[in-house]
């Protein structure tokens, strides 16, 4: 169909040009008229056919004006005007098609990566089989440079994969033996085997493609708004044309009015702007399914965000270790991490990683039993070890719960933290305190959403009230809804919708009903194949919440450009109609003028393809990760500060060696880190940033940190008395608190500078 349109456009152009040459070069007026008639008839048939199709769907558009203008030109023997009108109509259609194709370019890139054949092991040999025939459990060979056709587990690895098409991650990601790998990713390393877990239809990339196809087929509701304009624009045009004919007695004036009121490409400028907005959002990492979703995104007034996996990383971090005094902190972490090696839970991974950061050697557990949702138990050093939920561990005890455990339970509940108890031979000997980390980009994203005009930001979570509020208050949420089931989230969405257009952002299967209920649902999930992504109107294809704020800005800008294109284009057409009615425009000149108006508004609509100008990233992703890893490496030192302060405050035995060891870490690791930041890194960053001394606030914090460090080093050499103990407690608590805040601020800054930095 697109090829036919281009052929017809070429035909009209050649016949119009041939007629002009025949008339003005060879004075063959009759031949010119015949050529123009022959060239215009196919377009006239095309327009009439479009009108019939619209009437079949009980719609009427300004194509009617184009048909009347061409018919009027034939009747009044204005054959050149008829040729120019048809050339205008055909070129406008082709220009619109070109613009829409350009706008969809980012969406269709994904389709080109879809593999159709796969190398599968069959009866001991490798055969090329259609991807559609693959079944779970098949063994595939993934060659270097090949795209994974389905989801599966790495076998014969490791596998080095380019996941940029799914997650936006620019650096290759290494997957070890047994780790999951998603379809649509590219093998950048050596060949490896893949054990399939889904067929092609249910794999991650297939889900993304379905979203792409929906986005390409979607029709913006704003188009229907443009059609509603036609309901008054057509009668107005006929009234002006009829009035011009009636008062002047010249039917040519009526024809001129009809000619300048033929804005078919103009009406198409609105959906061009919307599709361009969808394309721009896709480049940023937000896949919007259709124009209706884009318009809802633009009009969002209230946003509800799920906590785990959306505002937080979903990967808890070890904050503190507690002991009853019989085991050291290192012993507790060693026992816990050694046992957690056997579990695949995200909490287990956090504990194991914490032990590795502290260079603690892990033991091999025996008789391990992973109790879903409760914890892990097994044998270590011929002792029965349990670690998990307090209720589960305490139920196995043979003695009453000690006072220090009761106090610990109350304190962790008030602080909104996750508490795991560790027992040795059914006696609680220690505890691990963890907390889900807030995404580094989340505070900036929420600030951007408020700046863009969002009236209310709320958080919804299935977690306990204390845990949810601890996160919500840090992020400055207007409302915190906690302890929710999927049905509860739906009720909250319905309540919020009564107060304004409501967006829901979530990532889990339990969020799917709420996503479907909201005016617009946005799924957090790079894999895009889960229930939440299917139920959502848009999917964040990168693991960054700040992309949502960009998406809202893009949607609002696209909607504004769409409205502008319609209003400006029709206003210019109305002005031209008045000039034509008073005889200042001939049909031929009017046709050329209208062509210029149409081209102008379509070019204006294409502005939606551009995102606000940004500076180049000051840091690349690798540099950002390196800087954040430096903070992670210092985390054990912060933990040691807090643990030492806790023991001093509770009058537990603290040796001089422990105090000296912390002093050594501060002197050899922490102070050099802060000095390098202050003297080298931050001045280099400030030089590339906008403003006068943009790092001043962080520089002041560096000074406070170094002062507290020196105070501790001074206290280490003072006599061991009550004054020294109290002073040391204050310094350690203050230093740990300010470092925690400082590292969080720097991590957020580095995240900002690693993305497109806006002035």
pTM for this model (two decimals):
0.67
Question: Which of these, 216, 304, 645, lies nearest to 484 by C-alpha position?
Answer: 304
Write down the CATH superfamily of domain 315-437: Calcium-transporting ATPase, cytoplasmic domain N (3.40.1110.10)
151 is catalytic: no
pLDDT band for position 170 (cuts 50, 70, 90): very low
Q: For position 730, what pLDDT does the model report? A: 92
Q: What percent of the chain has pLDDT over 90?
A: 15
Residue percentage of the chain with pLDDT more than 70 = 84
> How large is the average pLDDT for residues 576-589?
86
Domain 116-208, second-level architecture: Distorted Sandwich (2.70)
- Pair 487, 514: CB distance under 8 Å: no
Residues listed for the chain: 759
What is the structure's pLDDT at 461? 84
For residues 544-571, average pLDDT: 86
CATH match for 285-312+438-549 among 3.20.20.70, 1.10.1510.10, 3.40.50.1000, 1.20.1050.10: 3.40.50.1000
Cβ proximity of 44 and 67 under 8 Å: yes
Catalytic residue, chosen from 33, 63, 306, 747, is 306
**Average pLDDT of span 441-462:** 88
pLDDT digits (tens, 9 = 90+) for 703-726: 899 999 999 998 888 878 888 889
pLDDT value, residue 220: 47
- Spatial separation of the C-alpha atoms in residues 205 and 413, rounded to whole Å: 41
Give the pLDDT band (50/70/90) at residue 556: very high
The pLDDT of residue 204 is: 66
Does residue 528 register a pLDDT over 60? no
In this predicted structure, the answer to whether residue 728 has a pLDDT above a threshold of 60 is yes
Examine the pLDDT at 391 and tell me if it is beyond 60. yes
| Tens digit of each residue's pLDDT (9 = 90 or more) over 326-347 | 888 889 999 999 998 877 676 8
Helix (H) / strand (E) element for 245: namely helix 221-248
Same fold: 116-208 with 285-312+438-549: no
CA 306/CA 524 separation, integer angstroms: 10
Judge residue 349's burial from the number of C-beta atoms within 10 Å of its C-beta, 0-12 exposed, 13-18 middle, 19 or more buried: middle
Q: Which residues contact 344 (CB under 8 A, 6 or more apart)?
A: none
Q: How confident is the model at residue 735 (pLDDT cuts 50, 70, 90)?
A: very high
Check if the beta carbon of residue 63 is closer than 8 Å to that of residue 86: no
**Residue 227: predicted pLDDT:** 58
pLDDT digit string (tens) for 92-109?
Answer: 666 556 645 554 555 555
Domain ranges of the chain: 116-208, 285-312+438-549, 315-437, 621-754
| Mean per-residue pLDDT of the chain | 80
pLDDT at 676: 92
CA distance 594 to 648: 83
In this prediction, residues 241-251 reach a mean pLDDT of: 86
């Amino acid at each position: 169909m697109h090829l036919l349109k281009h052929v017809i456009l070429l035909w009209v152009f050649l016949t119009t040009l041939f007629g002009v040459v025949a008339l003005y070069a060879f004075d063959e007026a009759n031949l010119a008229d015949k050529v123009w008639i022959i060239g215009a008839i196919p377009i006239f048939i095309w327009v009439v056919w479009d009108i019939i199709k619209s009437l079949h769907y009980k719609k009427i558009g300004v194509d009617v004006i184009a048909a009347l203008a061409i018919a009027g030109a034939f009747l009044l023997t204005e054959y050149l005007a008829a040729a120019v009108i048809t050339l205008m109509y055909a070129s406008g259609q082709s220009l619109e098609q070109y613009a829409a194709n350009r706008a969809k370019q980012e969406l269709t890139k994904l389709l080109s990566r879809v593999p159709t054949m796969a190398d599968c092991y069959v009866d001991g040999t490798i055969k090329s089989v259609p991807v559609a025939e693959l079944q779970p459990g098949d063994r595939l060979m993934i060659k270097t440079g090949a795209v994974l056709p389905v989801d599966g587990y790495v076998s014969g690895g490791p596998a080095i994969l380019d996941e940029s098409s799914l997650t936006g991650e620019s650096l290759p990601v290494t997957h070890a033996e047994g780790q999951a790998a998603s379809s649509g990713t590219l093998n950048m390393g050596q060949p490896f085997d893949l054990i399939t877990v889904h067929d092609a239809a249910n794999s991650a990339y297939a889900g993304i493609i379905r979203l792409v196809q929906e986005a390409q087929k979607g029709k913006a509701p704003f188009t229907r708004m443009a059609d509603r304009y036609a309901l008054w624009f057509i009668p107005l045009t006929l009234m002006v044309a009829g009035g011009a004919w009636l008062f002047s007695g010249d039917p040519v004036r009526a024809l001129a009015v009809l000619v300048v009121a033929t804005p078919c490409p103009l009406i198409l400028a609105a959906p061009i702007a919307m599709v361009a907005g969808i394309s721009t959002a896709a480049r940023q990492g937000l896949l919007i399914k259709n124009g209706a979703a884009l318009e809802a995104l633009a009009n969002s007034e209230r946003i509800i965000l799920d906590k785990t996996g959306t505002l937080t990383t979903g990967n808890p971090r070890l904050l503190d270790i507690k002991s009853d005094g019989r085991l050291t902190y290192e012993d507790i972490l060693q026992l816990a991490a050694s046992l957690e090696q056997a579990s695949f839970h995200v909490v287990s991974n956090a504990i194991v990683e914490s032990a590795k950061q502290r260079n603690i050697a892990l033991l091999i557990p025996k008789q391990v039993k992973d109790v879903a949702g409760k914890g892990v138990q097994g044998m270590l050093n011929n002792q029965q070890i349990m670690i998990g939920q307090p209720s589960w561990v305490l139920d196995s005890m043979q003695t009453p719960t000690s006072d220090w455990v009761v106090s610990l339970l109350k304190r962790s509940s008030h602080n909104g933290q996750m508490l795991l108890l560790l027992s040795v031979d059914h006696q609680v000997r220690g505890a691990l305190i963890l907390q889900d980390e807030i995404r580094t980009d989340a505070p900036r994203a929420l600030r951007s959403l408020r700046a863009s005009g969002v009236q209310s930001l709320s958080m919804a979570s299935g977690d306990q009230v204390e845990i949810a509020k601890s996160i919500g208050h840090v992020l400055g949420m207007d409302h915190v809804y906690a302890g929710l089931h999927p049905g509860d989230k739906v009720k909250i969405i319905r309540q919020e919708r009564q107060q304004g257009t409501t967006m829901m952002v979530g990532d889990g299967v339990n969020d799917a009903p709420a996503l479907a209920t909201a005016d617009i649902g946005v799924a957090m999930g790079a894999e895009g194949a889960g229930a939440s992504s299917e139920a959502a109107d848009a999917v964040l294809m990168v693991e960054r919440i700040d992309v949502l704020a960009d998406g809202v800005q893009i949607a609002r800008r696209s909607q504004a450009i769409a409205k502008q294109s319609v209003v400006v284009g029709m206003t210019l057409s109305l002005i031209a109609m008045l000039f034509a009615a008073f005889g200042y425009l001939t049909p031929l000149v009017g046709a050329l003028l209208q062509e210029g108006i149409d081209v102008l508004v379509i070019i204006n609509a294409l502005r939606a393809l551009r995102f606000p100008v940004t500076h180049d990233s000051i840091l690349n992703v690798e540099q950002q990760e390196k800087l954040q890893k430096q903070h992670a490496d210092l985390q054990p030192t912060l933990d040691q500060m807090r643990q030492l302060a806790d023991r001093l405050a509770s009058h537990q035995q603290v040796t001089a060696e422990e105090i000296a060891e912390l002093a050594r870490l501060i002197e050899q690791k922490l102070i050099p880190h802060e000095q390098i930041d202050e003297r080298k890194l931050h001045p280099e960053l400030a030089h590339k940033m906008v403003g006068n001394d943009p790092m001043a606030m962080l520089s002041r914090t560096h000074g406070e940190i170094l002062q507290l460090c020196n105070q501790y080093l001074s206290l280490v050499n003072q006599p061991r008395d009550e004054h020294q103990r109290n002073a040391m407690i204050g310094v350690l608590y203050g230093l740990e608190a300010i470092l925690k805040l400082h590292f969080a601020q720097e991590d957020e800054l580095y995240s900002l500078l690693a993305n497109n930095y806006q002035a």
